[in-house]
Amino acid sequence: MAQKSGLEALDIDALSSEQQEKLKQFKINTRIANEKYLRSHPEVEMVLGEFLREVLLKRPGDIREFAAEHFTDPALPGRIGKKLEE
């Protein structure tokens, strides 16, 4: 039996016009809310940027283990705070 990849043909008529419009507005509102949150929390970008930098520099074999160690490092909040002050 063939596996579904999620890339099958779209069923354009699955949603009514009203549902499509509501979905469109929901997506827009979600993006706006996300942008406001990220702008009010610059530490999020800093944390993710530092993590990606470390991943690309160290290229760990077990990314899950690396991520667990990275995000549970007790020194992480101090490093992020220092970078935000700079």
Token pair listed for 43: 């530490």
pLDDT band for position 6 (cuts 50, 70, 90) = low
What pLDDT is recorded for position 85?
85
What pLDDT, in 10s, does the model give residues 54-75? Answer: 999 999 999 999 999 999 999 9
pTM exceeds cut of 0.85: no
Type of residue numbered 65:
E
Q: Is the pLDDT of residue 10 over 80?
A: no
pLDDT band for position 23 (cuts 50, 70, 90) = very high
Torsion of CA 52, 54, 57, 63, to 10 degrees: -80
Helix-, strand-, coil-residue percentages of the chain, each rounded to 5: 75, 0, 25
Token pair listed for 16: 């009514």
Q: Is the pLDDT of residue 1 over 60?
A: no
